[in-house]
Amino acid sequence: MPGFEFFGEEERKEVNDVLQTGILMRYGFDGPRKGIWKSKELEEMICKTFDCKYAQLVSSGTAALTTALAALGVGAGDEVIMPAFTFVASFEAVLSVGAIPVLVDIDETLTLSPDAVIKAITSKTKCIMPVHMCGSMADLDALIKICKEYKLLLLEDACQSIGASYKGKHLGTIGNAGTFSFDFVKTVTCAEGGAVITNDESIYIKSDGYSDHGHDHKGVDRGADLHPFIGYNFRISELHAAVGLAQFRKLEKFLQIQKKNHQQLKDILSQIPEVSFRSIPDPAGDSCTFLSWFLPTEELMRGVVAELKDKNILAGNFYWFDNNWHYIRKWDHLKNAGSLNNLNDEQKIALEKIKHASFAASDNIMNKCISTSITLLLTEEQIKDKGDKMVAAIKKVLAKQNIIA
Ligand SMILES: *Cc1c(COP(=O)(O)O)cnc(C)c1O
């Protein structure tokens, strides 16, 4: 899954280009930078790779979500519907623009349940934010239909699914805007970085300004820029963009390896009739960063987690149900409105509601689910060995359960 497995000469060369001029900033210094514009080059490459009109690089995936929300005009009083299974960045970004996170259930796609979305719509709903978790996609046809019917914006969090697609279109380019993260464990990394992508010129112009103190970037120098609106500093540096550029050139290779390794592991686990797999709206578009699989009951899955741990092979197998970062069950800081600064009253009410809400439908999926991360550097033999050990652990737990039953 992570690009950091392939860090090498290519990345060093790009970074050295920047170090040679010493111009580490992405804007200005036109003369001294001697034609080196790594951020611009990477933005062009992202547009070309994903067939979209505009890309704005920023300092992280969280910054990309925050910027995209602001550019979409989402703010105080607006509700954003998002899934209960996601990374904490999703609600952080929503809260940071003053808006209200509305968390709803997922389904077997491990992404937003369209039925749960419909039930959560109110007169305050402004945006639906599907999160394409673990390399694969939400049911976008259903969500687009809802957005059209209720006149809502669609913001795709594609941070974990770079290179995945849905019916021939790249994830992130289908909604009004999309976001990527290039943090250290993502499909391509530049240490820290992210991007807002869109086909809408006005969202792009707003993202461009918002991520750089509201600069309109029309002046001959930064001092001459106007500020049509208030912005913040979410800029990426040229050093980060340089690493990203080298990584992006390898994206196709990463995806090919991921798909091959994913298929091999899936074939091995498929031997066990009790194992089922995540439902994927467009299987051909899966970027295959993870293989997500289920057992029939929580008890069985907990048994397997314990067995994998016992055999020292739990690493890379994520039982999200017990995880502090990715699933609502353990987000006590959110439920208790543990904010350093004062949240607005509507946000406080919304968080109190989340604290008492039931996510039984999601619990019922997540408590039986493991996502196994697909590493790039494993050989065919190593994957076979890993898969065989997982199969042995699962069979052992199944056998025990049958004896008890
Ligand atoms: C990684 C991630 C983010 C945030 O990215 P950072 O670059 O780490 O800020 C947002 N959403 C999801 C689903 C992620 O996995």
Same domain, 138 and 276: no
Domain of 175, in residue numbers: 3-251
Q: Which atom of ligand 1 is nearest to the CA of 193?
A: 7
Q: Do 247 and 258 belong together in one domain? A: no
Residue count of the chain, please give it: 405
Query: Interhelix angle for 201-210 vs 61-71, to 10°?
Result: 120
Residue that is last in its domain, among 209, 224, 251: 251
Given this model, what pLDDT does residue 347 score? 98
Helix (H) or strand (E) holding 157: strand 153-157
Q: What is the pLDDT of residue 158?
A: 98
pLDDT the model gives residue 221: 82
On whether residue 372 sits in a domain, the answer given is yes
Model confidence, pTM: 0.97
Does 91 sit in the ligand 1 pocket, CB within 6 Å?
Answer: no
| Nearest CA, atom 15, ligand 1 | 160
How far is the centre of ligand 1, averaged over its atoms, from the C-alpha of 357 (Å)?
Answer: 25
Q: Looking at the 3D structure of the chain, how many domains does it have?
A: 2
267 shares a domain with 215: no
Q: What are phi and psi of 171, to 5 degrees?
A: -60, 140
- CA 349-355-359 angle, 5° bins: 125
Give 321's DSSP letter. Answer: G
- Same domain? For 243 and 257 the reply is no
Confidence (pLDDT) at 384: 97
Among residues 210, 227, 251, the one where a domain terminates is 251
Residue 402's pLDDT is what? 74
What pLDDT score does 405 carry? 44
The CATH number of whichever domain residue 203 belongs to comes to 3.40.640.10
228, 342: one domain: no
- Asked about 48 being catalytic, the answer comes back as no
376: domain CATH number is: 3.90.1150.10
292 lines ligand 1 (CB under 6 A): no
What are the CB-based long-range contacts (under 8 Å, 24+) for 342-346? 343/95, 344/76, 344/98, 346/76, 346/77, 346/100
Q: In this structure, are 73 and 178 located in the same domain?
A: yes
Maximum C-alpha span of the chain: 77
Pocket test for ligand 1, best of 4, 60, 62 (most atoms within 8 A of CB): 62
Average pLDDT per consecutive 10 residues, the chain (405 residues; last block may be shorter): 86 98 96 96 98 98 98 98 97 98 98 98 98 98 98 98 98 98 95 98 98 92 90 98 97 96 98 97 97 97 97 95 93 96 97 97 98 95 97 96 61
Are 287 and 172 contained in the same domain? no
Instruction: Give the DSSP H/E element, type plus range, for residue 125.
Output: strand 125-128
| 104 and 65 belong to one structural domain | yes
